Amino acid sequence: MTYRVVCDENLEPQVVRYLGKQGHEAVYVPDVLEKGVSDAEIARYARGNSYAVLTNDTDFLDDDRFPELKVLYYGSLQDSAYEIAEAVDEAGEYFPEHESLPQVLWLD
C-alpha cells in the first residue's frame, strides 16, 4: 500500500522525506505550488493529481467546501515528522488503496 500525499505547509518538510522512505509519493505544498497558496488551490491540485492532503488545517475538514477531497488530518503538531509519517503509513493497514480512504481520516 502506498499513498499519493500532498503535505500542507503547516507540516514540517521532513514529513515528505519520511513518507518517501516508506514508499509513498509525497510532495510539499511550497515545492509544487507556492508558499501561502489558498486551501482551494491546494484542494484543486490534490484532486487533479489524485493526492490526499495531509494537513493540520481544520478548514479541510469541511466536506461541503472540499467535496471529493481525501484528507489525512493530523491534529497534533507536537509529534515529530517521523511520527506523523508513521501514522500515515499505519493507515494503510486499514485502508490499503487510495480509493478506500474515507473523505477525512483522523490520524491521531
The label of the residue with cell 505547509 reads 9
Coil vs helix vs strand at 99:
helix
Number of domains in the chain: 1
Phi, psi for 47 (deg, rounded to 5):
-65, -45
For the entire predicted model, the pTM comes to: 0.94
Residues 61-79: tens digit of each pLDDT: 998 999 999 999 998 878 9
Residues 7-65: tens digit of each pLDDT: 999 999 999 999 999 999 999 999 999 999 999 999 999 999 999 999 999 999 998 99
- For 104, the grid coordinates are 477525512
Radius of gyration of the chain (CA): 12
Q: Residue 93 is part of a domain; what is its CATH number?
A: 3.40.50
Contacts of 37 (CB under 8 A, 6+ apart): 29
For 65-88, the DSSP string reads TSTT--EEE---SSS-HHHHHHHH
Domain that holds residue 65: 4-106
